[in-house]
Amino acid sequence: MIRRLILEEALKTCKLVSDTLATETRERIKEAFNTPFYPVVIIGNKVMQEGIDLHRNCRRIVHHDLVWNPAQLEQRVGRIDRIGCLFRREKASGDDLSCLEIYYPLVNRAIDIRIYRVVKEREKWLNFLLGTPPEDFNRYDLSDTPSIPLPSELSKDLTVRLEPV
C-alpha cells in the first residue's frame, strides 16, 4: 500500500524533458530537479545529456534508451557524478552504503541486449587501452564463453601510456 502511494506520488511529479519543450521550460525543470522537493523523476533525451548539473539531489540514473557509444552513456552519468554530488556527500557524512546507482532496463530477446553487450565490450577495450590491468579485464566480460587472457608482455605493448616521457 505504501509503496503504491509513493509510486503514484512520484509519477505525479515526473517531468519529461525533450527538445520539443521551450528552452525556458527545460531550464525551469532542470532547476526544480536540483531541489530536494520537486520533481522526483526527470526523463530526458539527448538534450539532457550534456552541459547540465543534476547532481545536487540525485544518486540514480536509468538509461531507458541505450546508445551504441559508451562515451555518451558516460556523459549522461556525468550529469550526476560530480564534485559535491548527493551520494558523495552522504558518504562523507558516514553513510557507507550510499552509492551512485546506474540501471539499464533491458528487454530480453530485443535489440537492447545486443546494444548493451556491444557498448560494454567497447568500454572494456577502451579501459584496457587506457591502462586497466589485465587481471581486471574479465570483470567487463559479458559473453557466454570466457575470454582467453592476453600474454602479459603483449598486454603491456598494447597499453597506451599517458604519463609524461
Q: How far apart are CA 54 and CA 80, in angstroms?
A: 5
Q: At how many degrees (to 10) do helices 111-129 and 70-77 cross?
A: 90
Boundaries of every domain in the chain = 1-105, 107-165
Q: What is the pTM of this model?
A: 0.64
How far apart are alpha carbons 16 and 42 in whole angstroms? 6
Q: Which three cell numbers stand for residue 134?
A: 589485465
Q: Residue 4: what pLDDT?
A: 60
CATH 3.40.50.150 fits domain 1-105: no
User: The dihedral of CA 120, 125, 131, 133: what is its sign?
Assistant: positive
Taking all residues of the chain, what is their mean pLDDT, rounded to a whole number? 76
Q: Summarize pLDDT for 22-72 with one digit per residue, the tens.
A: 778 777 877 877 777 766 677 666 666 677 778 788 888 888 788 888 888
pLDDT in tens, 94-124: 998 888 888 888 888 888 888 888 888 888 8
What pLDDT, on a 0 to 100 scale, did the predictor assign at position 134?
61
